[in-house]
Amino acid sequence: MAPVTTSPTDANLRSQIKSADRVLDLIEMLATAPQGLGFSEIAARRSLPKSSLHELLTVLTGRGYVTRDPQRQTYSLGIRVWEAGQAYLRHRDLVRESLPVMRSIVDAINETVQLSILDGSDNVYLAKVDCTHPVRLQSEVGKRLPAHATGLGKVLLANLPRDRFEALFAGRTLPVFTSHTIADLAALRQELALIRDSGYAVDDQEYTPGLRCVAVPIRGVDGTVIATLSASVPLGRANPDQMFPALAAIAGGSLKIAHCLGQSVGTADPIVESLACGQVTSLRL
């Protein structure tokens, strides 16, 4: 039998997995020690070589996931672990409060409704409620798509601080997926300005041929956009009789979700309120 050989890539992958496993072990260990642990104690508990442990702790400390008390010479969990936990709770609350509203929207318009947040220059789908039509959007929770090519993503980009938007896209070429995809930064800036003025975005077959979407922002307690809600309609049904009610329904849903998350009625987005009342006479299609 021929000897089994491993490529350098396989070896590197195994090494990375081992390092990731050690990092998680360290975080879980420190989570059980609120007073912190000394270097020697950590090394003894995990039977790690001191050189490897020192490198791992240096990286984790540098990234804020571990903090070192120089007087007691102990390590404990850092602020980034808390921030990650808070982000998890926010997203969990967002999904929990959004799903009943999304189901009611689908009951009203019978089109697929999705919830998304921004991660870098991608929008990531947190929740989805399908319609009952056999022809409908094919997507899945957890999927990420380039934000510039979706209605959901364009709403999120439109509400970014300008300097953050420019930093995200500086020197980048926008990938093109269909003949309708926005292909250059100047055109994207112009589209985002229209979205800010109108309060909603349209995806006219920009990522998926034969599919149109309308999307609106969801604002948090402080008024900033934290997520976005969309209704997706196949081209064969994407007529004014369907698209206008769909836009009004998701706008109303956005206001309900924001209220469920703690936003007071008096601080609701006035543009989204007007959309929910059906005060739109034309769509950018």
Give the model's pLDDT for residue 240. Answer: 85
Helix axes 185-198, 162-169, angle to 10 degrees: 150
Give the model's pLDDT for residue 222. Answer: 81
Name the one residue in this structure whose structure tokens are 């979205």. 195
CATH number of the domain located at residue range(s) 88-276 in this protein? 3.30.450.40
pLDDT at 2 over 80: no
* Domain-wise residue ranges, the chain: 9-77, 88-276
pLDDT at 206 over 90: yes
pLDDT at 201 over 70: yes
pLDDT at 10 over 70: no
Half-sphere exposure of 201 (CA within 13 A, CB side): 30
Rounded Cα distance, 34 and 18, in Å: 26
Half-sphere exposure of 79 (CA within 13 A, CB side): 2
Region 143-154 average pLDDT: 93
Region 36-62 average pLDDT: 84
- Contacts of residue 56, Cβ cutoff 8 Å, sequence gap at least 6: 19, 22, 23, 26, 48
3-class secondary-structure state, position 75 = strand
Region 146-175 average pLDDT: 93
Q: Which fold has domain 9-77?
A: Arc Repressor Mutant, subunit A (1.10.10)
Pairing mode of beta strands 201-204, 211-219: antiparallel
Count other C-beta atoms under 10 Å from residue 48's C-beta.
17
Give the model's pLDDT for residue 1. Answer: 46
